[in-house]
Amino acid sequence: MTSSAPVPTLIAPSIRTRVSGSFGIQSIRSAIGFTDGPTCSARGRGSRTASRPVMMNGAATRGRARVSMGRMTRYMPATMRLKRGRMGTMCGRYATTRARQELLDEFQVQVDAAGGEIQPDYNVAPTKQVPAVLARAPKDAPDGEEAVRQLRTLRWGLVPSWAKDLSIGSRMINARAETVHEKPSYRRAFAKRRCLLPADGYFEWYVLQQSDDPAEGEKKAKRKPQKQPFFIRPKDGAVMAMAGLYELWKPRDDEDADWLWTCTVITTDAPDDLGRIHDRMPMVVRPDQWDAWLDPGLTDPDEVRGLLVPAMAGTMDAYPVSKAVNSVKNNGPELIEPASDGDNSGNHSGALF
């Protein structure tokens, strides 16, 4: 795995607005576009207008629908008003359930440096240990030694080497593909410490808002909005190799401390079919290009940025799941099972990631 390896192409779909409403599971599917959902789009921040009628659960608006900051506020039925979603954050919860041997075989790992057991985790949250694949020269190897592909477990939440303590990691679980090359916290890792984070899929929360009448709508607007979790995974069931960065850190006042390995997930704009749930998604690396992405010899920031190119949408499947995933205490295969209509299990989490 040298710098002569082919340059990888990462899945980086385009952004579109997302919408919210207050419906049952089947109505949510329709409203966000899995059947005949909204067709309008927003081109970034600020006010924009949709040039086509907007289909909301079968009801088309007349004329032009106003879109402002990802929110349609005019020409909408009272029960279908949309609320501005959180922009730019993702992914803060995912599932990774492959067994150790599956990962070793799937990623053609040369050195198993994970240590301990790798247990299935259906509700991965920040600061947890997660499996990761990276290429790095063996410890104490002479200069010029070829990097070998390793399987390790890293703490999710990147802690830069210059950080005073590891608490910063809980706020650095994602790195935006658009700015990762220039941010002080990520740019060194982006140049030479890239990794793959295996996942079965990830979770996103679709914001629901009930507004049957203006007066009632104002009251409920003051409350925390209800959120329906969705599980998003590759349609073909293959492993989802999320593009990540890793760093090594240890306390400055303890030279004898062990190095802490931490990581972050690179995110990008979501395609039309997923952007209606959330405007961001993980960057994904195709299997035939894992070698080049992991190559530590590819260090030029501009060249690495060139790897982040758009790809076709339609490769992911999304479906609503139980609200039990809202609590990090819950963990099991039932969290990624499709929810039935009217599923109200679990509690409502006021925080998204």
Are 109 and 134 contacting, i.e. CB atoms less than 8 angstroms apart? no
Residue closest to 127 by CA, chosen among 15, 264, 12: 264
Residue 146 is among the residues annotated as catalytic for this protein = no
Are 13 and 269 contacting, i.e. CB atoms less than 8 angstroms apart? yes
Instruction: For Cα atoms 165, 168, 169, give the angle at the middle one, nearest 5 degrees.
Output: 105
Q: How far lies 290's CA from each of 83, 195, 282, 296, in Å? A: 39, 9, 16, 12
Task: Report d(CA 19, CA 38) in Å as an integer.
Answer: 8
The one catalytic residue among 40, 204, 247, 263: 204
Long-range contacts of 219-225 (CB under 8 A, 24+ apart): 224/348, 224/350, 225/20, 225/83
Residues 6+ positions from 276 with CB-CB distance below 8 Å:
16, 17, 18, 19, 31, 32, 33, 37, 38
Point out which residues pair with 132 in neighbouring strands.
Answer: 152
The one catalytic residue among 40, 91, 195, 263: 91
Residue 145 is among the residues annotated as catalytic for this protein = no
Q: Hey, which residues are catalytic here?
A: 91, 204
